[in-house]
Amino acid sequence: MWTATRAQVLGFRVRAQQLDRDAGTLDDTAVLDLGVQDTGPDGALWALTLRGLAGPDPAELATVWTIRGAPHVYRRADLAFVATATAPFSDADAGKRIFDAARPLKAAGIGNLAALDTVAGAMRTIVREPMVKGAMSTRLTAVMTQPYLRFCLPCDATHVYEQPFRLAALRAGLELVPGTSPPVLRPIPGFAPADDVPARLDVVRAYLRLLGPATPRHVAGYLDAPVTDVKARWPEDAVEVSVDGETRWLLGQDVDRLDGPPVTTRLLGPFDLFLQARDRPLLVPDTARATELWRTLGRPGGVLRDGEIVGTWRARKTGSAVAVSIEAWTAVTPALRTAAGAQAERLAAFRGLRLASLDLEE
């Protein structure tokens, strides 16, 4: 069995996710294999910018609801494979991913995968051109039967359960129009799910490659899938790695990449992949700090410095400028202040604004 320290694990992830590089291409940007979550004002495009992919051709990217029902960005050329790779592994897996929507389906004798196909078929029929989610939901609700519907207190209306709605969209060949709020769905030209999935897009392998070493439970937590389904798809070439006495796994080809973290500073978005690992205590051992970083509402970004999360950050737009505030968990040295200032300037430029101020406090 191989052995890795916490520093080696964090260093591996920084390099695997290319957070230490200055430039790259669409084809060689590794996080696009697992999908880049597009949540918040500094979503997928900021995550790609941090990995050296600035100003990608929008036509070569696509946004779809996939893992955990969240919007993720992929290479458009991969969408047929992504639809197959991110689909539930089994009927039990589908039931876990759609949460409380599974109960009325079970009571009605409807399988979870069959239910997703039914919802997808209706969506495919309804959406022939770009359509706002609310309008599409209204039309979908009108053609679905009771097991698919619920009364929503916040909306004070009856509509299709949210997770089946989201997870069926890609099955229906629908993508999200980037930057729309509320979301707008549109058909994907010439879409059809692929029969086979390249190894680089297999979600279990991709998790190990980008967020390893990990356990089946970590991967299952990331996917919202049952651990048994993940174990059934565990890569044969995964090798055991002991991390702080816990047995984890890493793809055999990646073991020699376990090394200390490179010197780098980044302002990670709240839903950046580096922060999506399901072993949060390893990433942020302090419970109070972890609670602040992974707040349910109003989640801040994380300040990455040399493999460690050393604080949180927020940005506030004021006119044509942006003010960045950082709460540091470590001593604010001149080097940290200089590096944080450079990244704040980078964020402002990304937003097309000037940096009004940087407030960096311990």
pLDDT digit string, tens, across residues 165-213: 999 999 999 999 999 999 999 999 999 999 999 999 999 999 999 999 9
- Length of the chain equals 362
- Asked if residue 181 is part of any domain, the answer here is yes
pLDDT for residue 362 is more than 90: no
Contact at 8 Å (CB) between 98 and 157?
A: no
Question: At which of 187, 202, 226 does a domain end?
Answer: 187
74-86: average pLDDT: 98
- Does one domain contain both 142 and 48? yes
Q: Is pLDDT above 90 for 45?
A: yes
Same domain flag for 183 and 271 = no
Same domain, 279 and 151: no
99-115 confidence digits (pLDDT tens) = 999 999 999 999 999 99
Q: Are residues 158 and 283 in the same domain?
A: no
Q: Of 187, 218, 237, which residue sits at a domain end?
A: 187
Last residue of a domain, one of 152, 172, 187: 187
Could you tell me if residue 252 is inside a domain?
no
- Please count the helices (runs of H) and the strands (runs of E) in the chain: 14, 16
Whether residue 54 lies inside any domain: the answer is: yes
Question: 17 and 136: one domain?
Answer: yes
Residue 93 has pLDDT above 90, yes or no: yes
> Distances from the Cα of 211 to the Cαs of 132, 214, 219, 275, 352, in angstroms?
35, 7, 9, 10, 31
Q: Is a pLDDT exceeding 90 seen at residue 142?
A: yes
Where are the alpha helices (H) located in 33-173, listed in sequence order? 44-50, 79-85, 91-97, 102-107, 112-126, 133-143, 162-171
Q: Are residues 75 and 173 in the same domain?
A: yes
85 in a structural domain: yes
Counted domains in the chain: 2
- Give pLDDT, residue 54: 87
Q: Tell me the C-alpha distance between 238 and 250, whole Å.
A: 5
Which pLDDT belongs to residue 157?
82
pLDDT score recorded for residue 5: 96
According to the model, what pLDDT value does residue 352 have?
Answer: 95
* Residue 84 belongs to domain spanning: 2-187
Averaged pLDDT score across all residues of the chain: 96
Nearest Cα to Cα of residue 322 among 284, 263, 267, 276: 267
In 3D space, the residue among 145, 127, 146, 129 whose CA is nearest the CA of residue 137 turns out to be 127
Is 249 inside any structural domain?
A: no
